[in-house]
Amino acid sequence: MEQAEHATVGELGELAVLGRILPRLRSGDAALIGPGDDAAVLAAADGRYVVTTDLMVHGPDFRLAWSSPFDLGWKAAATNLTDVAAMGARPTALVVALAAPPATPVAVLEGFADGLREALAELAPGAGVVGGDLSASSVLTIAVTAFGDLEGRPPVLRSGARPGDVLAHAGARGDAARGLALLFDEATDATGEPDAAAAERVRTEHPVLVAAQLAPRPPVSAGVIAATAGATAMLDVSDGLARDALRIARASGVDLDFDSARLGADPRVALAGAEDHGLLAAFPAGTVPPEPFEVVGRVVEGAGVVRVDGVAADALGWDPYSGWDGRAG
């Protein structure tokens, strides 16, 4: 019994590991056929479905010394659910692939599955995990594909913003960046390696900011709310408010002008901080954005520039190849 309790994925093998993970998950309301065959079958009453994918790799995307397995599962779900929500769709299902070193304890994958399940239950009730894959790798790698139902609505694209539209945001602004800065500053040893004990202390002292980075709670349900309220454009803010706003500006052929007084005590961190996974949306002129959206600026004539108080601003934020150029200090 003790051996099974502390077994690694290499010791148990794929079938036994799946037998430990799958009972911890549910398939969700849209699954006509869930895990067990070569592929799942999902109901798509709308005749269309939204699909997105995201990759998380140990090192550049997360540190096991900082994140618990539960955190990883939660974040893997949350980061994909908001991409579905940003299209104005209701999330229905996830497909999850894991590549792990053979020495990885099975308990790590079980904790990951628990995080997936609980994130889905809180952020996207009715959605579930319908399949995936396991493989071996030198570093833990997580790939998630998410599906969503438009429920008869047109998708909300990045290209629909028009001059005069109200610019609004739902979710935290800069909290994840502040949490990451704390972890780098206070939970990294002299050699630059993450320190698990220090990370636990930082988590205790700054629970909201650290949780915003390691296990974010984005406003997933706000995507459908925005779509039904007539949002003209929308996206998931994962790389930083300014950098992601640039994507709407360029796709729509307009400028987005942020009001610094509406961005909080530190507008720079609000604009540059990444990984909050809030939703940035444009609504028709004269619209009062629905809760939980808050007005943060407006859409103006232009050709793809982000402005703050009318002045062109740098699109600071996160880039997977060059890193973060707007770190909270």
Binding site residue list: 38, 52-54, 61, 83, 132-133, 158, 236, 238-239, 275, 318
CB 33 within 8 A of CB 41: yes
Helix and strand numbers (H, E) in the chain are: 11, 15
Task: Report the binding-site residues for ATP.
Answer: 132-133, 158, 238
The C-alpha atoms of residue 100 and residue 108 are separated, in whole angstroms, by 10
The C-alpha atoms of residue 82 and residue 225 are separated, in whole angstroms, by 13
Distance from chain centroid for Cα 277: 5
Tokens of 226: 């925005």
Q: Looking at this protein, which amino acid is placed at residue 257?
A: D
Instruction: Enumerate the β-bridge partners of residue 215.
Output: none
Instruction: Enumerate the β-bridge partners of residue 245.
Output: none
Tokens of 141: 């790698």
- HSE at residue 294, side-chain half, CA atoms within 13 A, is 13
Task: Report the binding-site residues for substrate.
Answer: 61, 275, 318
Task: Report the binding-site residues for Mg(2+).
Answer: 38, 52-54, 83, 133, 236, 239
- Nearest C-alpha neighbor of 128 from the set 144, 140, 117: 117
The C-alpha atoms of residue 217 and residue 81 are separated, in whole angstroms, by 11
